[in-house]
Amino acid sequence: MMIPVVCIVGESGVGKTTFLEKLIAELKRRGYRVGTIKHNVHGFQLDKPGKDSWRHARAGSDVVVISSPGKLALIERLERELTLDEVAARITGVDLILAEGYKRSDKPKIEVFRGEGGNELLSTPDKLIALVTNQPLDLDVPQFDPNDAASVASLLEAHFLHGSDGR
C-alpha cells in the first residue's frame, strides 16, 4: 500500500519548518509514525571528514550505510535527482510522509502563507487541502492559524489516516 505524501509548501522564510515541527509533534502525540522529506537544491555535507563511513564514500562507495542500535543512516550518490515519488518509495514503516517543498509536484499541499505585500499562493486550488495563515483569505479551502497544528493534524487524519491504527 502506498504511504500518503503531503507537501508543505510556501515562500522562503514564511515558517514552513516551524509549522512542520508542530505538525510532526502533534501527529506523534496521536501515535502515528511519520516520515519527512527535505528538498535540498544545493547539496549537503552530512558525514564528518575522517570518519570510516566518510572514507568509504570518498573511496567511491555508491551507497554508504551506518548502522547503530538506535539509528540507521544511508547516504546514496545519485546520477540524477530523484522525483518525490522515488524518494517516498525509499521510506518504509510510516503512516504518513510530509515533504517540505516540492511545490511543483502533483501531491496534496498545505500552504503556509503570509499575506504581506499582496503575495500570491504558490499552490493551485485543485491540490490545496489547507491554508496555514494568520490572515484568512477569501478562498474555499480550510484555513488555520500557524499555531493550530492540532486542527491540521485532524484534517490529515480525516483525509489520509483513516484506518491507520495510530499506535
Question: In this chain, which stretch among 28-36, 110-118, 128-136, 154-162 interacts with a second copy, using CB under 8 A?
Answer: 28-36
Question: What would the x/- binding string for a second copy be over residues 100 to 119, using CB under 8 A?
Answer: x-------------------
DSSP letter (8 states) at residue 101: -
The sign one gets for the Cα dihedral 5, 26, 18, 37 is negative
Question: Which CB atom, from 45 or from 140, has the smaller least distance to a second copy?
Answer: 45
Contact 91, 35 (CB under 8 A): yes
Question: Which CB atom, from 34 or from 141, has the smaller least distance to a second copy?
Answer: 34
CA distances from 50 to 54, 56, 75, 90, 123 (A): 6, 10, 16, 28, 43
- Tell me the closest approach of the beta carbon of residue 122 to a second copy, in angstroms: 18
Rule CB under 8 A: say whether 70 interacts with a second copy.
yes
Residue 28: name the closest of 131, 150, 148 by CA: 150
Provide the grid cell at 38.
Answer: 527535505
Rule CB under 8 A: say whether 12 interacts with a second copy.
no
Question: Which residues contribute to the site for a second copy (CB under 8 A)?
Answer: 17, 20-22, 24-25, 27-28, 33-44, 46-47, 52-53, 55-56, 58-78, 80-82, 87, 90-94, 98, 100
